[in-house]
């Protein structure tokens, strides 16, 4: 996968990298997963990860990643 962009290092960067690779907006991912676009943005910026339980975050991330990878 050669895009001319540096490969992301952390989860939030990876989430944004794959979303942009697919040319999805935050609203597109919200419609596909039911996860609020603002929350996805916070995850991409590493702001929202500590505000939910590990079990919730696991299922949330799984539903987002299904559409991005």
6-53 per-position pLDDT tens digit = 776 777 888 888 899 999 999 998 888 888 898 888 888 876 555 555
pLDDT in tens, 43-55: 888 765 555 555 5
60 domain residue, yes or no = yes
2 domain residue, yes or no = no
1 domain residue, yes or no = no
Look up the domain containing 55 and give its range: 11-68
| Total domains in the fold of the chain | 1
pTM, two decimals, is 0.65
19 domain residue, yes or no = yes
Give per-residue burial for 32-53: e unless 16+ CB within 10 Å, then b.
Answer: ebebeeebbbebbeeebeeeee
4 domain residue, yes or no = no
Domain of 37: which CATH number?
Answer: 1.10.260
């Amino acid at each position: 996968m050669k895009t001319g962009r540096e490969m992301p290092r952390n989860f939030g960067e990876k989430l944004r990298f794959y979303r942009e690779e697919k040319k999805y907006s935050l609203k597109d991912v919200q419609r596909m997963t039911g996860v609020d676009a603002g929350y996805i943005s916070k995850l991409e910026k590493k702001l929202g990860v500590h505000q939910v339980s590990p079990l919730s975050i696991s299922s949330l991330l799984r539903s987002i990643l299904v559409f991005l990878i």
